[in-house]
Structure 1
Amino acid sequence: MLFAPLVHSIRLLSGRVRYAVLSLLLLIVAATTFPAQAAENTLDTPDAAARKHYDIPAGPLGRTLSHFATIAGIALSFDPALTEGLTSPALTGNFSVSEGFNRLLANSDLELIRNADSSYTLRRAPIKAAQAGVTALPVVTVSTSTENADDTGYVAKRSSSGTKTDTPLIEVPQSISVVTRRELDMRSVQDMSEALRYTPGVVVDQWGFEGRGYEYLLLRGFQGLTTSLFRDGLSMAAQGLYFGSFITDTYGLERVDVLRGPTSVTFGRGDAGGIVNRITKRPSADPIREIELQYGNFDRKRIAADLGFANNDRSLMFRLVTLGLDSDTQVRYPNTGGDRAGLRRFYVAPSVTWHPTADTTVTLMGEVLNNRAEASPFFLTTPDGRHTDVVQTDSKFVKYATNQSSFSYQIEHNFNETFTARQNFRYMQQDGNFNDMFRAGFDADIPTLMQRSAMTTKERLTQTVLDTHLQAGLDTGPLNHTALLGVDWNRTNASLRFFSGEAPGIDVFNPIYGISVPVPDSLDIDAKQEIDQLGIYLQDQIRYGENWILTLSGRYDRVDTKDADFLSTTNTRNRDNAYTGRAGLTYLFSSGVAPYVSYSQSFLPLPGLDSSNRPFEPTRGTQYEVGVKYQPAGGRSLYTVAFFDLTKTNVPTPDPDDPFFRNRQTGEIGSRGVEVEARAELLRGLNFIGSFTYHDVTVTKSTDIDKDKMPIQVPHLMTSAWLDYSLGNLGVNWLRGFGIGGGVRYVGRIFNDLENTSTTPSYTLFDAMLRYDNGPWMFTINASNLFNNKYLSYNDPGWRAYPGLERTVLGTLKFRF
């Protein structure tokens, strides 16, 4: 019964996405029509697949490879000229042969092949044609796809999030950050807000503790709750009609890519701040066997497993990721003897990858996520504006229950050395049942009594996304082109039934909980919305010589919106069209320095009518960005500095001449600033993440009191740093396997109101980590907000307060076998 939601999702596909299924079949037929010689040998022999312990220092690549081969017991041969001048990182821990080579070759353009006699040979990558008696080893090829790129450390080298092509980060003419799986594990990340805490340009935890799974964030000063959500390059930025919003469990992710600035030319509709692309764990040729137990304060208990295997010839690979969570939270109901709000979650994600030919890859992925939260993060303030620890709702009534499931596939086929076709598809649905209370003002006769109303919502949110594109590698004289032509389709359906009812008031100085609340029975909203988006895009990455890279992109989108109000029996339709573009120029110096300049656009359709009864036009975003990226040769590091000037137009603002106080689209918001990021292995075993953000966000055009003011919740200044050191590198035997880490995060003050008369103070938080990694076992202790700093994320005077996250301590035991 655990897989019932997933099975239901798959059944729905046949009626909703016939075009997608037909396209899938056609692509498979095309793939098998152009067969390539299959690999004759497997990646690793049983001995090579076994894990051994290595403690090899960083050094010249040739010497390090020879040392590794000796310990692994394999025969390795290569031309010394291939490794001349190259260095490798240190290798400490338990690895299979393929895992070890992946790490040692991470900073090179080399790949390993296994010969017919089971010996190994080094060569430059890529080599397309299979050679007689020799089999290429795709999983130890450094030049691999984005999702399979080497992310064993803190520094990723490549991404497809910026261009939909597998491109080195240093060549993308836009700000992009990658949070690797290693970082997620070392910081014991539990949700998306935690994942992005050390990323420049991103504001998280803006409403304090969030147990419902909502991913509130700001990108360059603009809201990204629903507009920035992407998964595996496909939109999951679907907005329900009230609470509905897709959620993510970070244990199921391989990495997180953050692309800052307008991105509509690549992904279609979206706000001006950028996107966050979550990359899902998927099958691997190497065995994956991991079981994790976790316990923390607030009686947090979690068990998780990540299991993967492949058949003998690696043509079929499987993976299963799952977890269960049962926890209390920091939300405590006063006068109840310590009752706390609970949080429970179940997650399972099976996947399979099939290689029908050497040039074709088909990956199928499913996911079920059920979440139960017993609190909303709303705390009442007193009549004179002071914040309290009084929870607005009632422990016996509040409920946020979501059942979410999805099915997706990814197909890639290389027709030849020039053309590659890809198709990505996902269907996702979420059913939500929510109970909560909202405040109705203080009682006139009893000034400390807050009147409340109860509400119940029943929501459904579904999204179907299909992206098909053809990539071509061409030469025209001295120019080398990586061209992309694609079409994508995105349909979102949202329905809502909203009920309201009476609820007892609550005294902010003497709250009483557990009082019976009548079931809300007044149907106030019964509505449905459908959004259809169809886009066609063209991109060309043009390389001239070894230094110049010009990126040009263009896109056309058509968006149809249908709204139905079943209570008033009214229906509205609206169609929006938008052209967006991007141009970027990068120059690659041989030293690893890459200055760039770019221009990009975005658009975001808006529901509703303006004061002239005309449908709202989409908001538009335009950005100019100039920056420098630096990636030293042979080092595991990436440094970026970006200056940007971003403007969002067509922002709704009150029409002073309208008697009904409706809006017109004459508003404008400007965002300028600088973002700095460093990700590096400073010394052997010492990893560093640092970020600095300065934002000057201003409402430049408005008819309201916010003109020339800063939007609420946007800090001018943020900075953070994280260090992680493996103590075994000190050369002391008893310290082998031990590691320590720590971080500091500073968030500047924010404004609470449109007039900028009230502020929430800045705050500084410290994090810490201690780990012991020995053979198959790894134990970590992580503390977030180590010194339990009491702070507010946001304070709405006379209304509600949002306390920041309290100290969280987690102990995690991981067994790899």
Structure 2
Amino acid sequence: FDQVYVRGYPVHIYGDYRDGLRQMTGVYATFRTEPYGLEQLEIVKGPTAALYGQSTPGGLLNSVTKRPHLGAKNNVYGRFTNTDSYEGGFDYNLGLTENGTWASRIVGMARFGETSNKIQDDRQMFAPTIRWQPNADTDLTIYTLFQHDETDASATLLNLNGEILDYRTSDADYDYQKQDQFQAGYDLTHDLSSVPVTLAQKARFGYFDLEARYLTGGVTGGGWKNSNTEYHRAAQAVEETLWSAQVDNQVITTFETTDAKHEVMTGLDLMYSKSDYRFGSSGVLSDYIFYLNDPNRSISGTTPAYTTFDDVTYNQSGIYVQDQIELGNWHLNGGVRFDYAERKRISRLTNTGSTDYNTATTFNVSALYAFDNGISPYVSWGTSFLPSTSQDSEGKMLNPTEGEQYEAGIKFEPVGFDGFFTVSAYRLTEDNVARYAGYSGSIGSYYDSIGKVESRGLEIEGSANVTENLSLVGNLAYNNAKIVKGSYRGNTPLVTPEKAASSWANYNFNQGPLDGWGFGVGVRYTDSSYANYTNTSKNKPYTVLDAAIRYDFAALSNKLDGLTLAINGTNLADNDAAICNNGYCYQIEGQTIAATLKYEW
């Protein structure tokens, strides 16, 4: 699945948004997002519950779907990689009426092949969108998405007494994960001409169907046997179907009081999802044994029968209000929200289950002063609330998590220089933290509550077009995270590196013998992190090098304007660093070199 972390917290489950609406998750599966279908990605750091509702304290990621734009460029591309992956796509804008009242955009792509780690990576995506703008006051965009993904269900590596082997826990010949998803929604805004009020509504229906199977030693009787020469495994299978529906209604009012300008947004959002979840396990079988002296033996077998049939429904409603104020050079913001959430899980086999109800009120306050020289210091405070969808090893729901963050920093946009820089410091806490603890055939994934986590961090980031030819971007993040309450008090949370940094430099030639060529080089560093709760095992730090070469054929002839060739390399040194998380170990993406031929018009 897609995994994103912000300030050390996973946001890909409860902080994964698309077009301002959360992408709901099931017991096992989540919606997948194809970057080629997006206009931009938006990262919000810190608690956002006062506006978006239930979320992690780390923040959220909002993906913005490509929309029709008058005069926008079209493109087609083809790509192949050194990992035998082949991909092609198109992005086409079409004006349906001469006056621009109706417009459409069609985006599609298809990929077949593997990643550098021999993980299947097939995807086909088709996303038609239509936009209606009958006048300057009304804007309606209707979008749809059809997507099929086929990959592997388990990418974990074998762990032999702390030594990470270059073999999968599962087997590529047996393993698969197939997911079909569909989404349809709209985004409507209407300005009332008689008063300074804007009405806005976002709504979306979502559906996915997943089927997966894999081999694992994490079962009774599984694991290393016979002097660690055999790894005994069982087959497990998952099938899940999810339906979701969401709507977010907003009324935005602008007015002035004395010298202050206000923009007040009030809203009501509703979310509903229903998951049909099935699980089955074969138990340990001799046909699935991994032999260390014969590691490349192909495995085949049947899919185990399902023995768990659960219906999981989720309801949430939230009411919120936010006021953004401009008072001279001051920019002030304050918001409050009330949430109600209900989660029900019922077994079809026994007709038994449980229902959990939660309510919470969350807040956010911030202030920024914009000096005329481009320096803008700011402070903020916010809280978050997230009803737990995680259960312990006995099937009981964990307590809701509560987050709080204090942040202060400086934003700098130099006058007369094309650049933007930010320095920020924060103190972020989360109580009743749930972390993955294992998998059970009867209840699925189960979690432990490790208590309260406190993170103190510093972030420095910036981007600049230094000259017409040279652009730079870089960031440095320091995050000192500690468990301050609970059975692991004083320890560092899992897979939370203290330092991370990345940089990228790009240079384009626009004259001389190298006219049309562009070159880029970058480096990414990730610090060491702990691999278990007891902090007795560590993941090593690692550094990867990236580079790119680009050629614009317009330098040869105006007739070739829009045709470009790019060769991008990631992890050029093929660093095979492994990341372990509470006993499960994965390998970072290895060397990948992709050549892309693109035509834009």
Does the pair score TM above 0.5? yes
What stretches of structure 1 of length at least 5 have no aligned partner?
1-213, 333-340, 655-661
List 4+ stretches of structure 1 deviating above 4 A.
Answer: 608-616, 662-666
Residue 395 (structure 1) aligned with residue 172 (structure 2):
yes
Mapped to 2, the partners of 1:450 and 1:616 lie a distance apart of 33
Aligned residue among 429, 438, 454 for 2:216 = 438
Q: Go from structure 1 to structure 2 and tell me whether the alpha carbon gap of 1:739 and 1:680 turns closer, same or farther (over 3 Å shift).
A: same
Superposed displacement of residue 664, structure 1: 9.4
Alignment correspondent of 1:231: 18
Is 1:360 equivalent to 2:138 in the alignment?
Answer: yes
Counterpart contact for 1:501–1:518, Cα < 8 Å? no
Give 2:15's aligned amino acid. Answer: S
Aligned equivalents of 1:406 and 1:608: distance in 2?
A: 25
SS at match of 2:166: strand
Q: Which amino acid aligns with 1:497?
A: R
Per-residue deviation at 1:813?
A: 0.5
Counterpart residue identity of residue 154, structure 2: S
Contact 2:365 2:380 in 1 (8 A): yes
Determine the C-alpha separation between the residues in 1 that align with 2:275 and 2:292.
36
User: Closer, same or farther in 2 for the Cα pair 1:786/1:633, shift >3 Å?
Assistant: same
Instruction: From 190, 211, 214, give the equivalent of 1:413.
Output: 190
Name the SS of the counterpart of 2:534 in structure 1: coil
Determine whether 1:744 maps to 2:526.
Answer: no
Structure 1 counterpart of 2:420: 638
Q: Alignment partner for residue 671 of structure 1, among 455, 459, 475? A: 455
Query: Residue 772 of structure 1 corresponds to which residue in structure 2?
Result: 551
Q: Report the Cα distance in structure 1 between the residues aligned to 2:94 and 2:185, rounded to whole angstroms.
A: 20
Alignment of 1:531 with 2:308, yes or no, is no
Letter of the aligned partner of 1:771 in structure 2?
A: R
CA distance in 2, matches of 1:549, 1:362: 30
- Tell me what 1:650 maps to: 432
Would you say how many aligned residue pairs link Structure 1 and Structure 2?
Answer: 577
Q: Aligned residue for 1:303?
A: 88
- Kindly state the Cα deviation for residue 443 of structure 1 after the two structures are TM-superposed: 5.2
- Cα-to-partner distance string for 1:583-637 (whole Å, 9 max, x where unaligned): 0011010001110000001111014778999964421001000011011235432
Find the residue that maps to 2:307 and give its secondary structure. strand
- The 8 Å contact of residues 327 and 342 in structure 1, kept in 2 or not, is answered as yes
- Among all aligned residue pairs of Structure 1 and Structure 2, give the percentage whose two residues are the same amino acid: 28
In the alignment, does 2:79 pair up with 1:294? yes
**Separation (CA, whole Å) in 1 of partners of 2:447 and 2:56:** 19
The aligned counterpart of 2:344 is: 562
Q: Which residue does the alignment assign to 1:162?
A: none
RMSD between aligned residues: 2.2
The aligned counterpart of 1:520 is 304
Kept after mapping to 2: 8 A contact 1:287/1:309: no
What's the CA shift for 1:699? 0.5
Which SS does the other structure have where 1:328 is aligned?
coil
User: Quick one: distance in 2 between partners of 1:323 and 1:518?
Assistant: 32
Per-residue Cα deviation, 1:187-229 (whole angstroms, up to 9, x for no partner): xxxxxxxxxxxxxxxxxxxxxxxxxxx1223221222231120
Asked if 1 retains the 8 angstrom alpha-carbon contact of 2:117 and 2:589, the reply is no
Distance of 2:270 and 2:234 partners within structure 1: 40
Does the Cα contact within 8 Å between 1:286 and 1:309 map onto a contact in 2? no
1:618 corresponding residue in structure 2: 400
Matched, 1:722 2:504: yes
Segment of structure 1 superposing worse, 772-781 or 507-516: 507-516
Question: Which residue is equivalent to 1:325?
Answer: 111
The answer to whether residue 371 in structure 2 is matched with residue 592 in structure 1 is: no
Letter in 2 for 1:414: D
Shift of 1:330: 2.7
Residue by residue, what CA displacement relative to the aligned partner does 1:126-164 show, whole Å, maximum 9, x if unpaired?
Answer: xxxxxxxxxxxxxxxxxxxxxxxxxxxxxxxxxxxxxxx
SS at match of 2:36: helix
Aligned partners of 1:776 and 1:613: how far apart in 2?
Answer: 57
Which whole-Å CA distance do the structure 1 matches of 2:452 and 2:412 have between them?
34
Deviation, structure 1 residue 415:
0.9
List runs of 5+ in structure 2 lacking aligned partners.
Answer: 437-445, 555-560
Which residue of 1 is the match for residue 577 of structure 2? 791
* 1:524–1:293 Cα change, 3 Å: same
TM-score, reference length from structure 1: 0.68
Amino acid of the structure 1 residue aligned with 2:184: F
Give the letter for the 1:576 counterpart.
N
Give 1:283's aligned residue: 68
Return the offset for 1:814. 0.5
Pick closer, same or farther for the CA change 1:506–1:632 going to 2, 3 Å. Answer: same
Residue 159 of structure 2 is matched in structure 1 by 381
Q: Evaluate the alpha carbon distance shift between residue 665 and residue 483 of structure 1 in structure 2; reply closer, same or farther with a 3 A threshold.
A: same
Kept in 2, the 8 Å contact 1:791–1:804? The answer is yes
> Is the partner of 1:331 in helix, strand or coil?
coil
- Residues of 1 paired with 2:41 and 2:213: CA distance? 32
Q: Which amino acid is the alignment partner of residue 49 of structure 2? A: S
Q: Which amino acid aligns with 1:494?
A: S
Q: For residues 234-293 of structure 1, give each alpha carbon's deviation from its aligned partner in whole angstroms, at most 9, with x where no partner exists.
A: 111x22212x11110000011111111111111111111100111111101015321101
Identify the residue that residue 423 of structure 1 maps to in structure 2. Answer: 201
Q: Which has the larger radius of gyration?
A: 1
1:375 Cα deviation after fit? 5.6
Determine the structure 2 residue equivalent to 1:100. none
Q: Does 1:248 align with 2:33?
A: yes
Contact 2:225 2:232 in 1 (8 A): no
Match of 2:470 in 1: 686
Of Structure 1 and Structure 2, the greater strand share is in: 2
What is the rounded CA distance, in whole Å, between the counterparts of 2:132 and 2:500 in structure 1?
45
The SS at the match of 1:266 is helix
**TM-score normalised to the size of structure 2?**
0.92
User: Could you tell me whether the CA contact under 8 Å between 2:187 and 2:201 is conserved in 1?
Assistant: yes
| Residue 343 of structure 1: aligned partner | 121
